[in-house]
């Protein structure tokens, strides 16, 4: 039985390109802060330990297992479910992989499906081939990463598979702030589920990141929003309200998949 309310958080910080130790310290500080505020689920940004340091990506990926071990220990210590993406080695390839750590245990991982070719992600990273919805101590989580946000069919698939909360790590740069905000709210509204989205902030190389991490209700209401600097946001999700909204507007019951396909 899900709790009536759940405290969730997004941890937003300026990722130091290629500086794993500095990024770990920023993430740890943020996670300890939100846990002290009562958060039970926290999302970190995309590629939070390294950023998109393409020249060193393969070497940086070899450090991810140690980072995961540290994150597991912190999750267990704080009693916190944590989601965030790291560079992951897969033979001679590197994937952008989001890990779900629940009470100290790795319970799922998701490799980014849609690589942002505009920024050459497809040249340096290997795409995943499966979506992820996973049962955790805080509910059914669906996982997506950054550019995935522009593909609504992925989110509908996760919703149909029982996702109640979408966790979305991102590195979404200026000047596309309004796309970020609009698409996140649309994914929440059309699928009648919660969204916890963590962006990074600050400057990495030639890119300027605006932050604006968001916590959204199943109605698409903004429960908390970060600014453009390092910050942690926390809000309570009301599952009873989500169920009431789904009963008021029964979108899933009224679907016509025989007309437009299984999705």
Quick: pLDDT tens for 143-194.
999 999 999 999 999 999 999 999 999 999 999 999 999 999 999 999 999 9
List 88, 112, 167, 201, catalytic entry: 112
Quick: pLDDT tens for 62-95.
999 999 999 999 999 999 999 999 999 999 999 9
**Number of compact structural domains in the chain:** 1
- Is 202 exposed, middle or buried, given 0-12, 13-18 or 19+ CB atoms closer than 10 A? middle
Its pTM stands at 0.96
Token output for 253: 């019951």
CATH number at residue 245: 3.60.110.10
- Does the annotation count 46 as an active-site position? yes
List 95, 146, 200, 232, catalytic entry: 146
- Does the annotation count 112 as an active-site position? yes
Quick: pLDDT tens for 7-42.
999 999 999 999 999 999 999 999 999 999 999 999
Q: Which domain holds residue 173?
A: 5-260
Phi, psi (deg, nearest 5) at residue 39: -65, 140
- Does the annotation count 146 as an active-site position? yes
| Pairwise CA distance, residues 159 & 228, whole Å | 30
């Amino acid at each position: 039985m899900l709790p009536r309310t759940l405290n969730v958080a997004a941890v937003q910080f300026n990722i130091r390109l290629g500086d794993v130790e500095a990024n770990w310290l920023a993430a740890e500080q943020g996670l300890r802060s939100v846990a002290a505020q009562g958060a039970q689920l926290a999302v970190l940004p995309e590629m939070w330990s390294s950023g998109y340091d393409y020249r060193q990506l393969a070497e940086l990926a070899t450090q991810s297992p140690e980072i995961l071990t540290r994150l597991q220990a912190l999750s267990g210590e704080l009693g916190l479910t944590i989601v965030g993406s790291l560079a992951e080695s897969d033979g001679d390839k590197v994937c952008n992989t989001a890990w779900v750590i629940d009470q100290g245990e790795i319970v799922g991982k998701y490799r980014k499906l849609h690589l942002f070719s505009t920024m050459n992600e497809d040249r340096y990273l290997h795409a995943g081939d499966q979506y992820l919805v996973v049962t955790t101590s805080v509910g059914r989580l669906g996982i997506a990463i950054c550019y995935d946000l522009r593909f609504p069919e992925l989110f509908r698939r996760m919703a149909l598979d029982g996702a109640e909360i979408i966790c979305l790590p991102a590195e979404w740069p200026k000047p596309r702030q309004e796309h970020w905000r609009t698409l996140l709210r649309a994914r929440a509204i059309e699928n009648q589920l919660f969204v916890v989205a963590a962006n990074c902030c600050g400057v990495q190389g030639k890119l300027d990141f605006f932050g604006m991490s968001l916590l959204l209700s199943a109605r698409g209401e903004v429960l908390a929003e970060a600014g453009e600097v390092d910050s942690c946001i926390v809000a309570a999700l009301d599952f009873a309200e989500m169920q009431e909204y789904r009963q008021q507007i029964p979108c899933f019951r009224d679907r016509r998949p025989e007309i437009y396909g299984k999705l």
